[in-house]
Structure 1
């Protein structure tokens, strides 16, 4: 039986330590749709509905008696889906999820427009491609986002229920929850939000070339992008020479 191909480099410590196999990003996308979802209010028996009210009361930190049908829609929202899908498309670093703003999102053209002052290394303005599916999800999230008081007067694209931007710790918890839903083992693997970024880099370099991966991941240096390409060294060197 052949081992799973993965997005880790074959060159030892030179490649990313956090990775997803080639099949796992799709599983993460589907898990993000499922994460946090609950059965439809009208499809539940009174006993089931009472149990779900207790769950939602804890989730939203409110008395059980104050849980209303609208909370079902709130629980089945687009926030977690778009955090994962956007990160899988754009290879967002944790700090970029933290800094992400509504003003970055251009759903009509299916891109993120990241200004220099918000970029992780403050090196330039970036236009990053998104899939149509992610752009549609973001459009839904922007509509939903307007319904939550915590976003009033704020431009952050995503906030926790406490009103804080997502950071490495909260994103690590999220990726582990998504892996659990997707039945992806994290045992003996270093798994953080960077695994999504690394999968983008390797997939882009395989499907297109290093130049495409370099642009999508917002690298200034071709050498940085090379760690996402596990084809023979000679072919990688030729790719670099083509980009000079």
Structure 2
């Protein structure tokens, strides 16, 4: 049985003067939002907010069992998510709904280094953004948002998430070379088959009429090797994998050139260094990419087998698949695409300093890079051995 929201609730000081939905008794649009929205935006925003808050109340705690949050939690979430919305409009280009992963990431970075409040206060505001995302996942099919930081709303601190060790990075690089998506010969016909025969002949240095079914089996595709190798070099965020374009690639100079409008943080153009082997993988992938019909009308650098842009979930599945292939234990670890990014920051800072890590990871705020100013555990262990 669904809850009925109470008509009235005790009001905390932050809510004084806020607009109250008399039918529900929940703050929908705080008074502090006055002046930020025109009449049309106000109607649009109110519709989103009512849907979101009603979802929290009715099913938000456990959608599978249709269990909602308590009135106290919904009331607090209404206030905190409204604060998140106002911050987005101030810092991310004006009114928009619903919020995006990039905006949530920028908000959490702001909490980490510019919001002068307790860890608990930061954690509560992040918790509000996470509830927005939970609603968007359940109702609109969004991916789970990932963050550089996770604040403990009960008073913990913010630390970088887990990262891959040097050995694990090498294992991932090797594992991705064993997977690919060159189609089986029975799945392509006509002009598409002719194109693949030419492509395979080029890869194997064989005449196309000498290629048989066994040759199709030994050739691996270059999409995953290029995607993973670029991410291991550049520390791509999931949003950047999703936006990645063929226009970013500069093979001649071995770099990615990410324009401001495509940058996850939208703060400037970036030139990101790549290893020579990564450049070679991308070159081979760009040649192979032309063989797939799903790339005909898009400049997307990578698409899933179903022709969709990559998201956090599909990238997490790819990483876990690679970890299984490489024999990397994932139990009791938060293994997401950010795990790769954090390894780039950790070791770039160690090898070339924080300035190099800031440039490679495309950080807007130098303070963000400071979290990588730490010595990895294996190096600390070596230091203890040398200390006696």
- TM-score with structure 2 setting the length: 0.48
- RCO higher in 1 or 2 (8 Å CA, sep ≥ 6)? 1
The equivalent position to 1:184 in structure 2, one of 311, 328, 344, is 328
Aligned partners of 1:15 and 1:228 also within 8 Å: no
The equivalent position to 1:148 in structure 2, one of 260, 268, 292, is 292
> What is the rounded CA distance, in whole Å, between the counterparts of 1:36 and 1:78 in structure 2?
6
> What is the rounded CA distance, in whole Å, between the counterparts of 2:260 and 2:214 in structure 1?
39
Aligned partners of 1:18 and 1:190 also within 8 Å: yes
Aligned partners of 2:265 and 2:364 also within 8 Å: no
Deviations 1:119-167 (A, max 9, x none): 0011110000000110011000000001111100210000111111111
Aligned partners of 2:257 and 2:271 also within 8 Å: yes
Deviations 1:175-196 (A, max 9, x none): 0000001100001000000001
The equivalent position to 1:105 in structure 2, one of 246, 249, 273, is 249
Q: Select the structure of larger CA radius of gyration.
A: 2
The alignment yields a C-alpha RMSD, in angstroms, of 2.8
Aligned partners of 1:35 and 1:181 also within 8 Å: no
Gaps of 5+ in 2: 1-155, 194-211, 377-388
Name 2:369's counterpart in structure 1.
225
Name 2:280's counterpart in structure 1.
136
Superposed, 1:1-244 pairs within 5 Å as 13-36=157-180, 69=213, 72=216, 76-231=220-375
Other structure's SS at 2:166 match: coil
> What is the rounded CA distance, in whole Å, between the counterparts of 1:74 and 1:144 in structure 2?
15
> What is the rounded CA distance, in whole Å, between the counterparts of 1:32 and 1:139 in structure 2?
16
> What is the rounded CA distance, in whole Å, between the counterparts of 2:304 and 2:188 in structure 1?
13
> What is the rounded CA distance, in whole Å, between the counterparts of 1:148 and 1:138 in structure 2?
15
Aligned partners of 1:113 and 1:127 also within 8 Å: yes
* Distance 1:98-1:74 versus aligned 2 partners, 3 A rule: farther
Aligned partners of 2:181 and 2:223 also within 8 Å: no
Gaps of 5+ in 1: 1-11, 39-51, 233-244
Other structure's SS at 1:147 match: coil
Shift of 1:69: 3.4
> What is the rounded CA distance, in whole Å, between the counterparts of 2:217 and 2:260 in structure 1?
36
Shift of 1:227: 0.8
What stretches of structure 1 move > 4 A for 4+ residues in a row? Answer: none
- TM-score with structure 1 setting the length: 0.75
